[in-house]
Amino acid sequence: MNVSNYQIILASASPRRQELLGLMGIDFVKRLKPVEEVFPQELKPKEAARFLCEKKAMAFDDSEIAWNELIITADTIVCLDDEILNKPENRKHAIEMLQKLSGRKHQVITGVALRSRKKLKSFTVSTNVSFKKLTAEEIIFYVDNFRPFDKAGAYGIQEWIGFIGITAIDGSYYNVVGLPTDRLYDELVNF
């Protein structure tokens, strides 16, 4: 579907983001640029998500963007109270994160940047997610079988733990998967 006058470039290695953009009916090509996902520690969660998506968008030099191209970048973070839970470093760290999230409500914030040669537009979308109290066995089973080391907060809502552990969502489900599709669609139409 043509929602923009631009050729859409998705600058994300995330298979979930690629799938969601495809399910939206948007023709796109993937173009990756490695970016270290670090941000100033004093940033609040929404600011951190926006900082990271903009950092990914600005990694592309103007000469790498054709006049008719629009680059989409995104970064999803999980926030418990004011603590940002990034991607886990290892198995132990993933288990610790899920123990923190167990029985609690947390926020999933995705920052999205749209960049052409002339313009940069970014936004964030937040979704509240509630987990039931998870047992140690459930957490270990999930981490060992689904290896969520590439996911902020150490979980994927579309995986086993989402089916058995998430009791409530307030906001966009697809935002938790990694791309706030409804807002992205509107932003693309209006870019």
Of the pLDDT bands very low, low, confident and very high (cuts 50, 70, 90), residue 5 is confident
Domain annotation covers residue 182: yes
Instruction: Output the domain CATH number for residue 44.
Output: 3.90.950.10
Domain annotation covers residue 143: yes
Domain annotation covers residue 2: no
Number of structural domains in the chain: 1
Domain span at 123:
7-190
Report residue 78: phi and psi, to 5°: -110, 135
- Model-wide pTM > 0.95: no
Domain annotation covers residue 17: yes
Domain annotation covers residue 1: no
Q: What is the pLDDT of residues 29-59, one digit of tens each?
A: 999 999 998 999 999 999 999 999 999 999 9
| Average pLDDT of span 131-148 | 98
Predicted pLDDT at 31: 96
Cα 9–Cα 156–Cα 29 angle in degrees, nearest 5: 10
Active centre residues (catalytic):
75
- Report whether 116 contacts 69 (CB < 8 A): yes
Domain annotation covers residue 44: yes
